[in-house]
Amino acid sequence: MDIKEIIQPENLVYQKPELLNDTPMHYCPGCSHGVVHKLISEVIADMGMADKTVGVSPVGCAVFAYKYIDIDWEEAAHGRAPALATAIKRLWPDRMVFTYQGDGDLACIGTAETIHALNRGENITIIFINNAIYGMTGGQMAPTTLLGMKTATCPYGRDPKLHGYPLKIADIAAQLEGTCYVTRQSVHTVAAINKAKKAIRKAFEYNMAGKGSCLVEMVSTCNSGWKLSPVKANKWMEENMFPFYHIGDLKDINQ
Amino acid sequence: MADQEITLMKGNEAIAHAAIRCGCDGYFGYPITPQSEVLETLAEQKPWETTGMVVLQAESETSSINMVYGGAGCGKKVMTSSSSPGISLMQEGLSYMAGCEIPCLVVNVSRGGPGLGTIQPSQADYFQSCKGGGHGDYHLIVLAPSSVQETADFVDLAFELAFKYRNPAMILSDGVIGQMMEKVVLPPFKPRRTEEQILKECPWAATGRPKTRKPNVITSLELDPAKMEEINIRIQKKYAEIQEKEVRFEEYMLEDAEYAICAFGSAARIAKKAIEDARKEGIKVGLLRPITLWPFPYKEIDKLSNKVKGILSLEINAGQMVEDIRLAVNGRIPVNHYGRLGGIIPAPDEVVAELKKMMK
Ligand SMILES: Cc1ncc(C[n+]2csc(CCOP(=O)(O)OP(=O)(O)O)c2C)c(N)n1
Ligand code: SF4
Ligand SMILES: [Mg+2]
């Protein structure tokens, strides 16, 4: 068979998304960030919304998200992305606006901005990368760090007497009147990736239909912070993160 | 003409009306005395039904300024207002916006500090407004109105300067100007810019990327020190240009003056009364009122120091602007400071007494 016969659209099984550019990503091997970037790029392109989308990047490992996805971006201060997104969406109501935030950014320093944007029912989507750690600054404890989990600032394991309890932001978000879709996904298997992509698409579509705020939490790995190889990190996530951060929809006003 | 109508209103109300009239796209704010009337007036006026202006009460001043950041980054004419403690919370956002080089207007109807301080007027935020306030090498363009009329006029002017130089601008008012009712002619109505106009005027804005251009990214981050230095040098050049072109000040009775008072905002009004009183006693004194606090009129004060025997800096604080006056004067003549603290407003007779002290 001639190679030209093989290179046909109907035989295509995988393609780099057109919005994901060729800039080498700085993410560690096995990190969930890169996969989620790919999904966002695909969804925006699938929806034909590249010229109408504005992303807001966080302070955290994804601070350079704007270098990888070829759309317009604003880079927020640590935790403030939902405030920026609120204004962008209100001032350009026909635009598709999302934030991309880590657990330190969203569930700690930016908790107020997050809760209030969701509670106001801003028509934005918050993509929330929950890796239970501060990846960028070298693996310190996050509000989402599991009990007993060791980090640079709780080297003997997270102790609730000293550090309090892990925060389930998605559970809080689901209680808010302003949210229309709150889901918890992951990207550690092909099946999970496909579901996660559908979740992002649904969230963006709800926003464009004016239904309210969406939170798509991605339970994620941080290989460097967890000090585990990509395979071991995925296994650790399934065994330790999923029992606490249950995967699935927490709220969908259309269900 | 209806537009030319004289009305009586507070400085804070004038800010709200001027914002609507100058085609402002969005206001984001959080209540604090003595400036809450700005948001209250906007809520009452409902500009979202007339001009389409967005008005939103945020969850904090941190959030207000970051909403302004988001709005400025997508090319819109956006503003916030607050008073001293709230402005302190905004410093992070202001530094980011100066770093991103995006325009906005922030109004500080300042009150006495430090800390929660007092709700009474003060000019103790001069340093914070003019010397950076947040982190990094940056400046705000700072306008200091001394009447309700100027407050109204400066809203449009501040936006104009902010967009011209792509830098945050501040109106530094205080509890006196904000709360005082005075006659004012509101500026004429200017329509909000259309989508097309914004895209044309702000080709840098993050508004959604058509295939015809590269992505627009609003960011202050650059990890390569060589590039970061270049960015800083470019920003400093812009500041030098602003200092060259945008200094604004008022001179009052300086022609024959042997002594000068320097004062801004509400203190300048007290200074004028003190000058009248002093002149009745034969003291030849005039006023130089900086209208832009940054850029500061260094050259004009330098010139003045060759003409007068001494300068009194009248400020409602412990002595802040006096440092800039001394820099300009460079030791040639005595420069004294007089001010009251904690929300007390200096009286004209105190100022005259202070002038006499300097003359001895
Ligand atoms: C005001 C402020 N405080 C602290 C920091 C330092 N800092 C940068 S990223 C970060 C935590 C990021 O963690 P997370 O949001 O979980 O993102 P991840 O890197 O794990 O994806 C911190 C504390 C900062 N940049 N700004
Ligand atoms: S430090 Fe963690 S979150 Fe950051 S890129 Fe590496 S694996 Fe990903
Ligand atoms: Mg994290």
Instruction: Enumerate the domain spans of chain B.
Output: 6-195, 250-359
Q: Is residue A1 part of a domain?
A: no
pLDDT at res. A13: 85
Express each pLDDT in A10-61 by its tens digit: 888 888 899 999 999 999 999 999 999 999 999 999 999 999 999 999 999 9
How close B192 comes to chain A (CA, Å)?
A: 12
Q: Is residue A54 part of a domain?
A: yes
pLDDT at res. B326: 98
Q: Could you check whether B6-195 and B250-359 share the same CATH topology?
A: yes
The answer to whether residues A143 and A166 touch, using CB atoms and an 8 Å cutoff, is yes
- pLDDT band of B2, cuts 50, 70, 90: low
- Look up the CATH superfamily of B6-195: Thiamin diphosphate (ThDP)-binding fold, Pyr/PP domains (3.40.50.970)
DSSP β-bridge partners for residue B183:
B8
- Which of A84, A95, A124, A207 should one mutate to test binding to chain B, selecting the residue with the greatest count of B CBs within 10 A? A84
Cα-to-centroid distance, A124 and ligand 2 (Å): 25
pTM of the model: 0.97
Indicate which CATH number applies to the domain containing A134.
3.40.50.970
pLDDT at res. B1: 45
pLDDT at res. A109: 98
Q: What value does the mean pLDDT of chain A take?
A: 97
pLDDT at res. B37: 97
Q: Residue A105: CB within 6 Å of ligand 1?
A: yes
Q: Which residues of A touch B209 (CB under 8 A)?
A: 50-51, 53, 70-72
How close A205 comes to chain B (CA, Å)?
A: 17
pLDDT at res. A151: 97
Q: What value does the mean pLDDT of chain B take?
A: 97
Contacts of A113 (CB under 8 A, 6+ apart): A79, A80, A81, A82, A83, B59, B62, B63, B66
Q: Is residue A10 part of a domain?
A: no
- Per DSSP, the residues of A206-245 read HHHTT--EEEEEEE---HHHHT--HHHHHHHIIIIITTTS
More confident residue, B154 or B2: B154
Compute the distance between CA of residue A185 and CA of residue A247 in angstroms, rounded to an integer. Answer: 5
pLDDT at res. A2: 87
**Neighbour-count burial of B233, counting CB atoms closer than 10 A to its CB (0-12 exposed, 13-18 middle, 19+ buried):** exposed
Q: Is residue A237 part of a domain?
A: yes
Domain that holds residue A229: 25-252
From A105, A167, A237, the mutation candidate for ligand 1 (largest count of ligand atoms within 8 A of CB) is: A105
**Cα three-residue angle B73-B21-B61, rounded to 5 degrees:** 45
pLDDT at res. B243: 98
Portion of chain A with pLDDT greater than 90, in percent = 93
Express each pLDDT in B124-170 by its tens digit: 999 999 998 999 999 999 999 999 999 999 999 999 999 999 999 99
Specify the 3-state DSSP secondary structure of B335.
strand
Which residue bears the tokens 């999923």? Answer: A242
**Cα three-residue angle B58-B62-B64, rounded to 5 degrees:** 40
Test A76 with B69 for CB contact under 8 angstroms.
yes
Binding-site residues, ligand 2, Cβ < 6 A? A 27-28, 31, 33, 61, 131, 135-136, 222-225
Test B209 with A70 for CB contact under 8 angstroms.
yes
Answer whether residue A7 shows pLDDT above 90. no
Q: Looking at the 3D structure of chain A, how many domains does it have?
A: 1
Express each pLDDT in A193-225 by its tens digit: 999 999 999 999 999 999 999 999 999 999 999
How close B142 comes to chain A (CA, Å)?
A: 23
Q: Is residue A117 part of a domain?
A: yes
Test A66 with B66 for CB contact under 8 angstroms.
no
Q: Is residue A6 part of a domain?
A: no
Least confident segment among A154-158, B4-8, B26-30: B4-8
Compute the distance between CA of residue B165 and CA of residue B353 in angstroms, rounded to an integer. Answer: 43
Instruction: Please compute the mean of the pLDDT values over residues B204-213 and round it to a whole number.
Output: 97
Cα-to-centroid distance, A100 and ligand 3 (Å): 12
Answer whether residue B87 shows pLDDT above 70. yes
Q: How many angstroms separate the Cα of B232 from the Cα of each of A126, B103, B225, B235, B265?
A: 32, 17, 10, 5, 31
Instruction: Please compute the mean of the pLDDT values over residues A224-246 and round it to a whole number.
Output: 97
Express each pLDDT in B15-51 by its tens digit: 999 999 999 999 999 999 999 999 999 999 999 999 9
Q: What ipTM, to 2 d.p.?
A: 0.96
pLDDT at res. A9: 87
Q: Is residue A18 part of a domain?
A: no
Q: Is residue A5 part of a domain?
A: no
**Topology of domain B250-359, CATH:** Rossmann fold (3.40.50)
The answer to whether residues A52 and A44 touch, using CB atoms and an 8 Å cutoff, is no
Test B62 with A83 for CB contact under 8 angstroms.
yes
pLDDT at res. A1: 76
Q: Which residues of A touch B62 (CB under 8 A)?
A: 80, 83, 112-113
Cβ-defined contacts of A236-241 (< 8 Å, 24+): A237/A186, A237/A188, A238/A188, A240/A146, A240/A149, A241/A132, A241/A146
